[in-house]
Amino acid sequence: MSIVVTGATGKLGRLVVSQLLEKVPAGQITAVVRDRARAAGLADRGVRLAVADYNAPETFDGLFAPGDKVLLISGNEFDKDRVGQHKAVLDAAKAAGVALFAYTSAPGSLTAALADDHRGTEEAILASGVPYVLLRNGWYHENYTEQLAPVLEHGVVAAAAGEGRVSSAARADYAAAAVAVLTGEGHERRTYELGGDEAWSFAEYAAELSRQTGKEIVYRPVSPDELTGILTGAGLPEPFAAVLAGVDASIAKGELVVGSGDLSRLTGRPATPLAESIADALAR
């Protein structure tokens, strides 16, 4: 039996594998990667590597074994058939008779276009009959803290979220939840709504940035169209910029407030506060 993590060289995947290494022997972990060279550090730690590509279903043939626990980290190629990509992994896992198939999805309350592929994948998983766990990850602190340079340069947080609030958490928190599921028992056929312990507004985010930097940072609400323009001007492809603006519109409607407490219950500790992630980002 192996614990198999797809997308293992991505930002979330690396954290999952790193935290798994604290729980189980390296030889029980298989990291699925596109580029073996990028995973050299994982191999050096004793993790088994498997090379496969979501866009090439045949590369998953024979990759899984009966009894494996699999974490499918959702793909990030928004311009491709993500549901089809995910089904390639699902079909191979079903054929192998895996013990558990966990998927990183989106909050059930989210109606933005970003959630469409997740809902399609969830439907395929439920129809497949595999023992599943849906990890409906909320928004990440890092969606904001990794983009601080323009905010600090201009002194403005621009968002199309109105007065909406966000129950975000650190990427490492979501990794810890996945690890708890992959190394624990009794999670079959469960859906977890994951998010931070406290929701925050963009005005509060700007105020916290001001407090920690000593600079005046203000929140400027904009329309979704305006935000799309800002993001495309920063170099994002227009379709993806529109998707992110759609998420902000959902935030304005309260769709990224997650009050289940599932994240802290799974990890056994409080979720990382936004202020802590801001401090970490500023210290880099």
Tens digit of pLDDT for each residue in 128-177?
Answer: 999 999 999 999 999 999 999 999 999 999 999 999 999 999 999 999 99
pTM to 2 decimal places: 0.96
Statement: residue 98 has pLDDT above 80: yes
C-alpha to C-alpha distances, 146 to 44, 88, 105, 196, 278, nearest whole angstrom: 28, 31, 21, 18, 9
Position 18 scores a pLDDT of 97
**Amino acid sitting at position 167:** S
